[in-house]
Chain A
């Protein structure tokens, strides 16, 4: 019951947040000083041409009317037409979404594996040189942002030791039999491991660059809570039963220590998704973020609006999932 009520409340606040973002985005964008219509037309277009095209896009109406038209459209799934490509914004954005989702999830998995391994090793050999080395590596990983890690990776594994592809999502000459845009997922389902390997080779470095700072955060926090848990009575009890140190950490301490890390991972995951904007650009990966930068450069307002709204939707959904997971996993909240 408590979980259902929490779900209802969170769904409501999510809706409020999203409407707030929609309103802000719409009005902030309309403050733009430059006239996007003038930019669409060839030089030498008359004022009359500009007025005609403005009327076509509804830009000659008062702001509030424009907002009304826009909201009515959004509710029906019409996010307008991109000014540069003249295609529906919804199609463009949804076409790129799977690429970004796959990249973010792969990065999240890598961060959890790397950070988890660092925390477990650090706890197993706590107080020694190994823990010191892990702390130093964590500190480095944290103080340098994903953009720079991406560049370092390009140099290391793209140029010095060319193991992975440094640009694109898939080798362009390959024939793709896919019906969806979830390449990584669909290649597995279709058992096309050749394609899968090619896609992973393209995604590996951007995903790793995104994962490094998050891995450091996970490593630090999980190690801290693990070390605290290791001093609790029930862990001592497990030890007196004669279990080895590694087993005690994995079987007894980890489950209790993981909860605070989980909440943090949720918040940090939204930062990671934000990081895809620049990382996708760096690796010429055809996702939402790369498209966002093009849209900003071209001042394609309807497209920017669509992308920002979609990102906001992803962020709020991630937060919602984390809150619910936390409620499900935390016994104190579950029985409240």
Chain B
């Protein structure tokens, strides 16, 4: 007999594995893009424009998911677009995490004036609506991948700082921390050796969710043409192109959209799944 708890765990487990599987597949495709992509993502051929995907009449063999209006292979562009998406997710996610988690850890464990200063900073930061913040930052920095990464880091570090601070505060009040101090470990040593390992699960969950956010931010900015300026393939750029030719060639919009949808969903489900895993109540 399955009781409620193991039911929840089993369903959460499936969700976790499906999301992790999709993301692993995507990472592999991104890493091996030049070898796995069937065509050159930039190669144009106006005679092969707007070919439908393979199961529709009029499809051309080799162009599995069809072509866009310039005759570029949709599947190859999606695979190469994964490089940009995952790169932004990885770089922006990691830097945001490092800065936010460090500040949160310092504030939550050291308390005193450090906490005062960092908490004030978080409050001020969060009073500024993220959309305005990003409009301003992109306007100032100009379009491009680096600007996107800077914007994500500058806006989102508070997500980590706030949660990690609260966690570190809760951990700091526990007996094991006091005994580590009594055993002669210094403040910073205690923070890194004792607190950090216990806060790490939370950080991993936040990082996963942040990567999903980064993917969507990059897609939105490349959709409005404020991401990388060349015709390098991005999911957002493909969606923008598909949006204009939606009545003539639905596949140019549908396939990148499905990819983006699954990726964003996977990051958030992976984050939620990990949260359940780490949650002692469910464990």
Contacts and interface: CB of A to CB of B under 8 A. Distances in A.
Interface residues of B, number: 36
B132 A151 contact: no
Contact of A304 (B136, B264, B265): B136
Nearest to B264: A144
A273 B253 CA distance: 26
A143 B226 contact: no
A274 B128 contact: no
A304 B253 contact: no
B136 A297 contact: no
Given A29-B140, A293-B224, A155 B250 contact: yes
B260 A148 contact: yes
Contacts of A154: 243, 246
B239 A151 contact: yes
A179 B187 CA distance: 68
Given A148-B216, A311-B132, A281 B224 contact: yes
A311 to B, nearest CB: 5
A226 to B, nearest CB: 22
B268 A143 contact: yes
Given A147-B220, A297-B224, A29 B253 contact: no
A133 B253 CA distance: 29
Given A21-B128, A155-B257, A312-B132, A148 B264 contact: yes
Contacts of A281: 223-224
A17 B127 contact: yes
Given A25-B136, A143-B265, A278 B129 contact: no
Interface stretch (A31-39, A101-109, A248-256): A31-39
Contact of B135 (A145, A282, A308): A308
Interface string A283-313: 0000000001101110101001001100110
B281 interface: no
B261 A296 contact: no
Interface residues of A, number: 44
B129 A274 contact: yes
A312 B131 CA distance: 10
A124 B216 CA distance: 36
Interface in B107-156: 127-132, 135-136, 138-140, 142-143
B202 interface: no
Nearest to B137: A28
A299 B139 contact: yes
B247 A159 contact: yes
Contacts of A28: 136, 140
B225 interface: yes
A32 B132 contact: no
Nearest to B266: A143
B131 A311 contact: yes
B15 to A, nearest CB: 10
Nearest to B271: A143
A139 B212 CA distance: 15
A308 B246 contact: no
A158 interface: yes
B166 interface: no
Contacts of A148: 216, 257, 260-261, 264
B243 A152 contact: no
Contacts of A25: 136
A151 B136 CA distance: 25
Given A155-B253, A159-B246, A311 B139 contact: no
Nearest to A311: B132
Contact of B269 (A143, A147, A308): A143
B224 A274 contact: no
A50 B143 CA distance: 24
A224 interface: no
B254 interface: yes
A151 B257 contact: yes
Interface string A144-174: 1101100110110011000000100000000
Given A151-B243, A274-B129, A275-B131, 16 more contacts: A21-B128, A29-B136, A33-B142, A144-B264, A144-B268, A145-B264, A147-B219, A147-B220, A155-B246, A159-B246, A274-B130, A282-B243, A297-B224, A299-B139, A304-B139, A312-B129
> Would you list the 6 A-B pairs with minimal beta carbon distance, nearest first?
A274-B131, A143-B268, A296-B139, A308-B132, A304-B139, A293-B224
15 contacts: A21-B132, A29-B136, A31-B140, A140-B265, A143-B265, A144-B265, A147-B216, A148-B216, A154-B243, A274-B129, A277-B131, A278-B223, A281-B224, A296-B139, A315-B129
Interface of A: 17, 21, 24-25, 28-29, 31-34, 139-140, 143-145, 147-148, 151-152, 154-155, 158-159, 166, 270, 274-275, 277-278, 281-282, 292-293, 295-297, 299, 301, 304, 307-308, 311-312, 315
